[in-house]
């Protein structure tokens, strides 16, 4: 008998193409450093032709990375999104199933190829992403219903869906109709900038937990101050979290704020997926009933492990280290924030 699903992660299933480049390569390829920009298929083809660097391939996508992380932590998880009717789509489903995830809510598109993302990793471990959404962009609001969320306790939604406001509203509404609590990871500062007028209302109406990085929080409050962004975000949700990279994270619930220190990493290799795995660790704790502060420590442990490796696919020995750290965190778990 299948284990009942605890969480469904909603977003764009994407094949990540990861390449280490120098700063000059970014200048040559064009576009700003950091963040994510959408490109068309022909633009992606041109970027790949001009890249001149080895490329590693792995399943990706913000919410999907979180789902992979949860499945690895033995939390029953599903992905809601759309892939192409192609080899890459079948590879994606198969890999998620082998991880322990439920792929039955991944929909199939026969008109477009599975989405891909070129992740350009500079020596400072910063990642600059160019994404061709392909089949993922084919998910339509009419295809989403409360039935997709049946049996799930929690829905985790990636902010990139907000680029399609009708789809984002359909997803958030369906999750609420199904009785799910909802978390939203804002995804990138471009997402926040593009949705400043509507985002506060969506947070207030649908979202229990919002996660942001420094740039996203700063963009939300329009002042450039991430802590002012945390304050502003917390006005709309039960709990807000701002991830501060190597400095840790700050949580705020009601009027109370708590700092979560980062775990030491040494020399980071690649920040790709680190925020998504931080979310997986945090949700692992939240679904198990731990306090927000303890949830933050789970997130910090998993996020720290993620930056030690290229891409969002961690090797077995990494998960063994995570298990040891999680066991230690549970021994020192807090009862309150």
Q: Return the DSSP state at 262.
A: P
Distance of CA 213 to the CA centre of its chain: 11
What pLDDT is attached to residue 304?
A: 92
In which band, very low, low, confident or very high, does the pLDDT at 1 lie, cut at 50, 70 and 90? very low
**What pairing do the DSSP bridges indicate for beta strands 154-158 and 181-185?**
parallel
Q: What is the value of pTM for the model shown?
A: 0.89
Distance of CA 69 to the CA centre of its chain: 10
Residue 132's beta-bridge partner residues? 116
The answer, yes or no, to whether residue 238 has pLDDT greater than 80, is: yes
Distance CA 236, CA 107 (A): 32
Q: What is the pLDDT of residues 258-277, one digit of tens each?
A: 999 999 887 777 677 789 99
Cβ atoms of 238 and 253 within 8 Å: the answer is yes
The answer, yes or no, to whether residue 335 has pLDDT greater than 70, is: no
What pLDDT is attached to residue 36?
A: 78
Buried b (16+ CB within 10 A) or exposed e, 142-168: eebeeebbebbbbbbbbbbbbbbeebb
Cβ atoms of 150 and 51 within 8 Å: the answer is no
Q: What are phi and psi of 182, to 5 degrees?
A: -135, 135
Cβ atoms of 202 and 168 within 8 Å: the answer is yes
Distance CA 337, CA 327 (A): 19
Cβ atoms of 305 and 322 within 8 Å: the answer is yes
Q: What is the pLDDT of residues 77-109, one digit of tens each?
A: 999 999 999 999 999 999 999 999 999 999 999
72: its two tokens: 């690895």
326: its two tokens: 């999680």
Which segments of the chain are extended strands (E)? 7-10, 14-20, 36-38, 56-60, 77-84, 106-109, 115-121, 127-132, 154-158, 181-185, 209-213, 239-243, 249-253, 256-260
Order the strands of the 127-132 sheet from edge to edge: 36-38, 127-132, 115-121, 14-20, 56-60
- Could you tell me the fold of the domain covering 7-331? 3.40.1190
Percent of the chain with pLDDT over 70: 96
Instruction: Report CA torsion sign: 167, 170, 176, 179.
Output: negative
Cβ burial of 242 (10 Å; 0-12, 13-18, 19+) is buried
List C-alpha distances in Å: 160 to 50, 163, 202, 247: 26, 6, 14, 25
Average pLDDT, the chain: 91
Q: What is the pLDDT of residues 136-165, one digit of tens each?
A: 999 999 999 999 999 999 999 999 999 999
Q: For residue 26, what is the enclosing H or E element? A: helix 23-29
CA angle 85-91-95, nearest 5°? 135
The answer, yes or no, to whether residue 337 has pLDDT greater than 50, is: no
Q: What is the pLDDT of residues 305-314, one digit of tens each?
A: 988 876 667 8
273 vs 182, more confident: 182
Cβ atoms of 66 and 277 within 8 Å: the answer is yes
Mean pLDDT of 209-219: 96
What pLDDT is attached to residue 176?
A: 97
Cβ atoms of 175 and 156 within 8 Å: the answer is no
* Domain-wise residue ranges, the chain: 7-331
Q: What is the pLDDT of residues 23-65, one digit of tens each?
A: 888 878 777 788 778 888 888 989 888 888 888 888 999 999 9
């Amino acid at each position: 008998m299948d284990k009942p699903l605890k969480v469904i992660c909603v977003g764009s299933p994407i094949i990540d193409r990861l390449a280490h480049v120098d700063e000059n390569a970014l200048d040559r390829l064009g576009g700003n450093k950091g963040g994510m920009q959408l490109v068309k298929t022909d633009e992606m083809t041109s970027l790949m032709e001009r890249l001149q660097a080895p490329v590693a391939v792995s399943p990706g996508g913000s919410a999907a990375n979180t789902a992979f992380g949860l499945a690895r932590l033995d939390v029953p998880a599903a992905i809601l999104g759309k892939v192409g009717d192609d080899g890459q789509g079948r590879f994606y489903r198969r890999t998620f199933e082998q991880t322990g995830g439920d792929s039955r809510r991944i929909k199939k598109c026969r008109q477009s190829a599975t989405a891909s993302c070129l992740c350009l990793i500079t020596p400072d471990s910063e990642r600059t992403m160019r994404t061709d959404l392909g089949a993922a962009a084919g998910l339509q609001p009419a295809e989403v219903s409360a039935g997709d969320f049946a049996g799930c306790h929690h829905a985790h939604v990636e902010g990139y869906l907000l680029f399609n406001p009708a789809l984002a509203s359909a997803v958030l509404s369906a999750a609420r109709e199904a009785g799910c609590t909802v978390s939203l990871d804002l995804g990138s500062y471009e997402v926040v900038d593009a949705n400043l007028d509507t985002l506060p209302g969506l947070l207030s109406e649908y979202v229990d937990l919002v996660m942001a990085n420094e740039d996203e929080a700063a963009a939300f409050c329009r002042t450039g101050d991430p802590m002012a962004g945390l304050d502003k975000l917390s006005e709309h949700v039960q709990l807000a979290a701002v991830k501060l990279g190597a400095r840790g994270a700050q949580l705020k619930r009601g009027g109370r704020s708590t700092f979560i220190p980062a775990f030491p990493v040494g020399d980071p290799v690649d920040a790709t997926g680190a925020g998504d795995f931080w979310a997986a660790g945090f949700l692992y704790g939240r679904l198990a009933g731990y306090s927000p502060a303890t949830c933050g420590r789970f997130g910090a442990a998993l996020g720290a492990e993620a930056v030690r490796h290229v891409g969002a696919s961690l090797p077995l020995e990494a998960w063994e280290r995570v298990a040891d750290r999680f066991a230690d965190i549970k021994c020192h778990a807090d009862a309150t924030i």
